[in-house]
Amino acid sequence: MLMEDKTASLRKAVEDYREYLEKTGLPALKEQFRILHTAFSGIRDILLKRALIHEDPYKNDRKISEISSPPDTPFQESEKTEELSIRLSLFEAQLDFILNYCQFSVEFLTMKRIRLLVSLLRYISWDQLSETHQDMTTRALAECIGRIKRGGDNLSSGIIGGSLEQIRKSIRLCLAGLRGLADYQKEAYKLDIRLQVLPKLGGDPNPASEKTAVLRQIRKVFAAEMPGRPFYPELAGEILDEDKAPQGPEILRSIIEKLAVKETKKSSSPQQAPLSSFLREAIWSMATVSRFLEEAAQKLRDNHALLQERKAPLLEKFQKWLRKMHPGKPAPVSYEVEYFDITTSSSKRESIAFDPFIESIRRNAAIYNAILSRSGALHRRIEEADENQLTAFLDKHMGELNIVFRRLEGLDGFFKRTIEGKQRPLIRGIKIELTAIKNNMVRANQKKHEYASRREEAEQMKKLGFGGG
């Protein structure tokens, strides 16, 4: 009867902890992986922009089917840029694979996959990011970041500093979540042995028997009753210690208490903070486009100057005529561009007053830079804002950013089509900037959609009588 009571207590503790993981623990773990991915991508984007690394030429050819870590083998100094570029690309691809293709469930995240995730999280020594670190990947990344910090680019340095802080925090939380999941998998595995294997041993193992002999019996029955599952002799040995060793009852009690503690944390965790954090993450992702907006605007200015130089003689005559006919401030130069309207599935034309448009980009970039400055007033206001304020801010600026992106793309195509002859090789394309802006917009929209999904789920739960008001 005592053994049955112990098994029943363990079973309840394991089942309760599984419920906690499914409702709270695993969604929180996935969210931390998402934050980690956003922060890491921000750093990698800056390194790409500064040409400290380059795009992985084999990125689109690689097919990921399982969690793994990038290579950690030594490389020559002459290979450093190429190796770091590939390894950081692989690291980001793994985070993307985990978020979009892996299931955050107790069935999918087995002990083997937990170990793979832990290995990936520890691939780079984020807490000891040093140019003298013994790990070559960590050292190479630290050298790149050091070059940016020493280069006087305060904005990039600030973004990287904030991203590193977030990465370290998220990794600590991910590792804590994985430890809790490993505790569950370990105790659930042992419980399965108690329920499916021990009863088939023909009574309790003889206390006088050697532990190794009993483990051989357990392994034999395990292979028949739990085919296809790996056998962990150390966990089977823990069962014998819990049942037969003098300190067994104390060990068992500590296991049940450890699993119960997590359930208590679940019930006291607030819901508001995680929901608003989705919106803040969306705003941070959106604001990261500031640098790419500024660089795209500068390239377009250069293209504008090229075109005006070509048209200068005719333009001067036209401007003189305009000034004679309409004294006062001359009208701004406008360009008519084409764009594809997805709402009507047709091409449309738009006239863009060039200088006012470039000035609007400058103003928006200044706002986004203020958002990214952790010591700034705007950053603090976003940290303190409620969900309604964050949603309104995000919707307004994402709407504006979509229009800016469309116009940048249109002007890029316009200049490439219009500037010809000897000036054509001097055209500065903005494909890299457009891609970076688009990627950050996609990330921001993903966070916004996840917020909306979580908000809808919370409202439904509230209608059903679950959760606070």
127 DSSP assignment: G
Highest mean pLDDT, choosing among 85-89, 370-374, 375-379 = 85-89
Distances (CA, A) of 362 to 81, 355, 464: 33, 11, 48
Quick check: 44 pLDDT over 60?
A: yes
* pTM of the full structure: 0.61
CA separation for the pair 441, 398 (Å, rounded): 8
Q: In this predicted model, what pLDDT tens digit does every residue of 165-185 receive, in sequence order?
A: 989 999 999 999 999 999 999
Please report where in the chains the tokens 């599952």 appear, as a residue.
Answer: 229
pLDDT confidence bin for 264, thresholds 50/70/90 = very low
pLDDT of residue 373: 77
CA separation for the pair 217, 201 (Å, rounded): 7
**Interior angle at CA 256, CA 251 and CA 257, nearest 5:** 95
- Section 77-88 average pLDDT: 95
Q: Which residues contact 155 (CB under 8 A, 6 or more apart)?
A: 290, 291, 369, 372
Quick check: 291 pLDDT over 90?
A: no
Q: Which residues contact 20 (CB under 8 A, 6 or more apart)?
A: 262, 263, 266
Contact 363, 294 (CB under 8 A): no
CA separation for the pair 283, 122 (Å, rounded): 28
Supply 299's token pair.
Answer: 């390239």
Q: Is 207 helix (H, G, I), strand (E, B) or coil?
A: coil
Quick check: 111 pLDDT over 60?
A: yes
pLDDT of residue 69: 96
- Section 55-59 average pLDDT: 82
List of E strands, 193-345: 334-341
Please report where in the chains the tokens 């970076």 appear, as a residue.
Answer: 436
**Interior angle at CA 455, CA 37 and CA 367, nearest 5:** 55
Select from 335, 333, 340 the least CA-distant residue to 406.
340
Quick check: 265 pLDDT over 50?
A: no
Quick check: 248 pLDDT over 70?
A: no
pLDDT of residue 299: 94
**Stretch (H or E) spanning 346:** strand 346-353
**Interior angle at CA 301, CA 297 and CA 305, nearest 5:** 170
Distances (CA, A) of 355 to 96, 166, 403, 446, 459: 39, 38, 16, 33, 46
pLDDT of residue 465: 60
pLDDT confidence bin for 122, thresholds 50/70/90 = very high
Residue 105, class by beta-carbon neighbours within 10 Å (0-12 exposed, 13-18 middle, 19+ buried)? exposed
Q: Is 292 helix (H, G, I), strand (E, B) or coil?
A: helix
Please report where in the chains the tokens 């029943």 appear, as a residue.
Answer: 8
pLDDT of residue 412: 93
pLDDT of residue 1: 35
- Section 292-311 average pLDDT: 88
pLDDT of residue 449: 84
Quick check: 125 pLDDT over 70?
A: yes
pLDDT of residue 331: 63
How far, in whole angstroms, is CA 41 from its chain's centroid?
A: 7
CA separation for the pair 222, 190 (Å, rounded): 11
224-238, 243-257, 383-397, 414-428: least confident range: 243-257
pLDDT of residue 159: 81
CA separation for the pair 240, 310 (Å, rounded): 87
pLDDT of residue 40: 93
Q: In this predicted model, what pLDDT tens digit does every residue of 393-452 receive, in sequence order?
A: 999 999 999 999 999 999 999 999 888 888 888 999 998 889 889 888 988 888 888 888
For all residues of the chain together, what is the average pLDDT? 84
Supply 219's token pair.
Answer: 């392994």
Quick check: 28 pLDDT over 80?
A: yes
